[in-house]
A and B are shown apart, each in its own frame.
Chain A
Amino acid sequence: MDYTVKINGATRQVAAEPGTPLLWVIRDELRLTGTKFGCGVASCGACTVHLDGEPVRSCQTYIEDIEDAEITTIEAAADDPVGAAVQQAWGELDVVQCGYCQSGQIMSAIGLLRETPKPDSTQINDYMSGNVCRCATYQRIRAAVQRASEILEG
């Protein structure tokens, strides 16, 4: 099947079987590899992208269900002020270790800050609990979300 997808401000044509997770369309067909495969069962959050601005797990989102939604991946996160602030905070605090989960962490953190501009630790923990980091960078993730909040406050 041929699908038209709107991703990172561009419109792209892809051929994929119905039932193909958006994750594999993004990675294998569109070759945007910043979005990661971690578990395939929406249990780790490494594949988090935005659909019309809302974080979703792309491994459990199917190509035929996307329709007209705008997809945003980590590669375009900086185009948005919240995304830019989150990335800046991640850099300031040297959050990353192996880095493999961090695209998903950042995409989730952007969702959190759009919903709750000044989250406390509990709100961060609740929102980010679906994003696994095996390097356990969690403490810095918490601090970076709060730092991004400060950056956005100006």
Chain B
Amino acid sequence: MTTLSRRGFLQTAVASGAVLTLGFTPRGALAQAAQTQQLTPFLKVAGDGTVTAIVKHLEGGQGAATGLSTLIAEELNMQLTDIRFEMAPANAAVYNNLLFGPVQATGGSTAMANSFMQYRTAGAAAREMLIAAAAQQWSVAPESLALKEGIISGDGKSVSIGELVGDAAKMDVPAEPTLKDPSEWTQIGNPQRARRDSSDKINGQAMFSMDVHLDGMLVVAIKRTPRMGGVVISFDDSAAKDINGFDHAATLPNGAGVAVYARNTWAAFQARDALSVEWDFSKAEARGSDEILADLRMQLDGEPDYNVNNADQAAVAATIDGAATTLSQEFYFPLLAHSPMEPINATIEPLENGGVRYHDGAQGPTANQMVAAQILEISPEQVEVKSLYAGGFFGRRLNGGSDYLVELTMAYALTDRTRPVKLVWSREDDVTGGWYRPMALHRVRVGLDDAGKIIGWEHHVATPSIFKGSPFEEAMVRDGVDSSSIEGIADGPYTIPGMALMLSDAKKATTVNWWRSVGHSHTAYVMEVMMDLAAEASGIDPVEFRLNHLDQNSDDGSRAAQVLKLAAEKAGWAQQGDGRSLGVAVHKSFNTYIAEVCEISTPDDTIRIDKVTAAVDCGIAVNPDVIKAQVEGAIGWGMGHAMRGEITLDKGEIVQSNFPDYEPLRIADIGAIDVHIVPSALPPSGIGEPGTPPAAPALANAIARATGQRITELPMISSTDFYL
């Protein structure tokens, strides 16, 4: 992980009207692409003293708005509860994700990790400028003044920062403002429940992009090819014409669907249902899930495409063959849809200057700009993005094909471009609409010595690549290996000698995408169930077995060991029995270490999840309660999909269509979740995703403890009954 330097973050400041706007251009190794020294606001101070944080990351529930606001509030010595926030406009030159290069985007659990220094520095600079303005006004030394709760005081006087806005804006921006010492923090690390987006979401006022209504807009629903690769030959909209509110229909230029335009959402859906389309399926996917699985298995039977870690495969195989104990296991993971609560949608409107404005829960505003520039033949600078709340995203609102943005923009391009166009997906569109977590098949052989030490680990994964063919290929694919296909196997915290990691790229049957925790969503399951099997084969307690393979003299090993021990202690690991069965898993992802212990019971020979205990090391815990909430949610995400989530194909078509057959986690599924945070002074790492990877294997290991059944094919309901 590259370190963040605050040197060079501060370039200059601008004043606009009565609002002091501080702008910084990130430079240095993490943001070399930010060549333009463009002014960019991270916070505003209004004439009435109101402070507004400008949040560069999408708020989709993960708490980015609260987190970034906390950093500003801390450095301005104000309460988090007193700060407001608004979403940043599209401008990758300054609002880029410092870990992604020249791209403004949210993902990879990086919102806090990349913003921690940047936003603190912004807040500190504003504090120093405001104090300097007061010092100048009163002709006193700035050191004699202090800022607290929006008031600067000292020398027997006090003034609201709102009154200093004009003068402060004329100050030079301090090159390296003094950040508060962590010992002085009152907001960072504060366990308060103070989400900045809470009240709007409780009273129905929060604006999601689904809630956008613009005068004269057309609502579009799209009839998409039911099989990847299908192309429209023709359509008949004569029945649609009977739907009141139907406007017209048009084939998308890429042939992947027909856009149905209407006066409102219901009319668009009704008219779309009434449309009949003739498809050319000659180049379309035709396999069913069983055939796709057979293809994956054939790949594992053959030579791997890539020797990921350049291991001596023959030597590793020989070690395992000669081991005291050899374990061999295959694992299967189905396609999974993200299905955020808010079905996919976005709106585009023409601007008088010839540009366009998107209203979008934009995970990657830079993608909006690129898509519009390409399809509408305008410059990216002519593309505005009004970022709204996303009703969950889990990765779904950005992908290598910018799917819904391309659809929306093509649908708009087909009109006379004088009216706004809003694209709305139904839940059926979402469940059948592709960009799934890829299917994966793993085959693993592990060799153990007499003492229960792993001496060889052979691991072959067959899965389609997420990144190949996407705009992110160059960043994520090395020597042919898509890191997202195998992350979490050889780069985990365990010390495993003699590992041979192999990868084969499978042929896609659907579009695939990152899905909360990406590759870790399947690799952690394999690693942690195999560790459990190995512990069992060695006759060693699963926690002890794992600790035996964590080098506590290494950073990775010690942090993993610490969360493992803490979770085990808090869960009462030593007191199993009496109908309580506990399973454990620990995993590192997005530079965060999480161990989870799942406690189950077996009423009526079913599995009931009574409690999950988690221990988290994500570096400095900026908002401990948000971190707890993210881990609670990520556990639900991991377990829910492992229990029941599965997208399957029949002759190339998706079988599932909506929540009744893509059944989500519900309230009764998990009894209680107890999250513990390890104190840390290290820079913050990811938290939106890392709670997911250990969840499913912890459940699987608990089930094995209770029933002896090792579940190696997901979803679990194929072989297990859950308590209802």
Show the binding face of A for B, using Cβ within 8 Å: 17, 20-21, 24, 27-29, 31-41, 43-44, 46, 73-75, 77-78, 87, 90-103, 106, 124-126, 128-129, 131-142
Which residues from B are CB-within-8-Å of A103? 204
**Given known A96-B202, A134-B664, contact A101–B341 (CB-CB < 8 A):** yes
- B265 x A97 contact (CB < 8 A): no
Q: Determine how close the nearest CB of chain A comes to the CB of B724; give it in whole angstroms.
A: 9
- B670 x A34 contact (CB < 8 A): no
- A134 x B264 contact (CB < 8 A): no
Which one of B191-199, B294-302, B443-451 is at the A interface? B191-199
Q: Determine how close the nearest CB of chain B comes to the CB of A16; give it in whole angstroms.
A: 8
- Across the interface, A102 reaches (CB within 8 A) one of B60, B201, B339, namely B201
Which residues from A are CB-within-8-Å of B376? none
Q: Which of B147-169 contact A (CB under 8 A)?
A: none
User: Is B672 at the interface (CB under 8 A from chain A)?
Assistant: yes
- Across the interface, A98 reaches (CB within 8 A) one of B340, B635, B669, namely B340
- Across the interface, B264 reaches (CB within 8 A) one of A28, A98, A106, A135, namely A28
| Nearest opposing residue in chain A for B210, CB measure | A37
Which residues from A are CB-within-8-Å of B664? 44, 132, 134
- Across the interface, A74 reaches (CB within 8 A) one of B203, B213, B264, B659, namely B203
- Across the interface, B202 reaches (CB within 8 A) one of A40, A46, A91, namely A91
Which residues from B are CB-within-8-Å of A132? 341, 659, 664, 666
Cα A60 to Cα B245 with chains together (Å): 20
- B341 x A36 contact (CB < 8 A): yes
- A99 x B193 contact (CB < 8 A): no
Cα A31 to Cα B204 with chains together (Å): 12
Which residues from B are CB-within-8-Å of A37? 210, 265, 343
Which residues from B are CB-within-8-Å of A124? 667
With A90-B202, A98-B393 known, 12 other A-B pairs at CB within 8 A are: A17-B245, A27-B211, A44-B341, A44-B664, A97-B629, A103-B204, A132-B341, A134-B637, A136-B637, A137-B633, A139-B672, A140-B629
- B659 x A41 contact (CB < 8 A): yes
User: Is B632 at the interface (CB under 8 A from chain A)?
Assistant: yes
Which residues from A are CB-within-8-Å of B61? 96-99, 135
The count of residues in chain B whose C-beta lies closer than 8 Å to any C-beta of chain A is 66
| Nearest opposing residue in chain B for A107, CB measure | B204
Q: Determine how close the nearest CB of chain B comes to the CB of A101; give it in whole angstroms.
A: 5
Q: Determine how close the nearest CB of chain B comes to the CB of A151; give it in whole angstroms.
A: 14
Contact with A along B215-256 (1 / 0, CB 8 A): 000000000000000000000000000001100000000000
Cα A17 to Cα B266 with chains together (Å): 10
| Nearest opposing residue in chain B for A88, CB measure | B202
Contacts between chains A and B (CB distance < 8 A), count: 184
Cα A126 to Cα B625 with chains together (Å): 27
Q: Determine how close the nearest CB of chain B comes to the CB of A62; give it in whole angstroms.
A: 11
- B427 x A39 contact (CB < 8 A): yes
User: Is B389 at the interface (CB under 8 A from chain A)?
Assistant: yes
Which residues from B are CB-within-8-Å of A44? 341, 427, 659, 664
- SS class of chain A's interface: helix, strand, loop or mixed? loop
- B343 x A139 contact (CB < 8 A): no
Which residues from A are CB-within-8-Å of B427? 38-41, 44
- B633 x A106 contact (CB < 8 A): no
Q: Determine how close the nearest CB of chain B comes to the CB of A76; give it in whole angstroms.
A: 9
| Nearest opposing residue in chain B for A100, CB measure | B391
Cα A139 to Cα B625 with chains together (Å): 14
| Nearest opposing residue in chain A for B263, CB measure | A28
User: Is B101 at the interface (CB under 8 A from chain A)?
Assistant: no
Which residues from B are CB-within-8-Å of A129? 666-668
- A128 x B203 contact (CB < 8 A): no
| Nearest opposing residue in chain B for A1, CB measure | B244
Cα A139 to Cα B668 with chains together (Å): 9
Can you list 15 pairs linking A and B with CB atoms under 8 Å apart? A24-B265, A33-B211, A34-B203, A87-B203, A91-B198, A97-B61, A97-B62, A97-B633, A98-B392, A100-B340, A101-B391, A135-B392, A135-B633, A136-B637, A138-B667
| Nearest opposing residue in chain B for A132, CB measure | B664
Which residues from B are CB-within-8-Å of A140? 629, 632
Q: Which of B634-649 contact A (CB under 8 A)?
A: 634-637, 640
Interface centre among A27, A37, A99, A124 (most CB of B within 10 A): A99
- A98 x B667 contact (CB < 8 A): no
- B670 x A94 contact (CB < 8 A): no
Q: Determine how close the nearest CB of chain B comes to the CB of A24; give it in whole angstroms.
A: 4
Q: Determine how close the nearest CB of chain A comes to the CB of B531; give it in whole angstroms.
A: 26
Which residues from B are CB-within-8-Å of A73? 204
**Given known A94-B629, A100-B208, contact A78–B203 (CB-CB < 8 A):** yes
Cα A94 to Cα B199 with chains together (Å): 9
- Across the interface, B193 reaches (CB within 8 A) one of A17, A27, A92, A135, namely A92
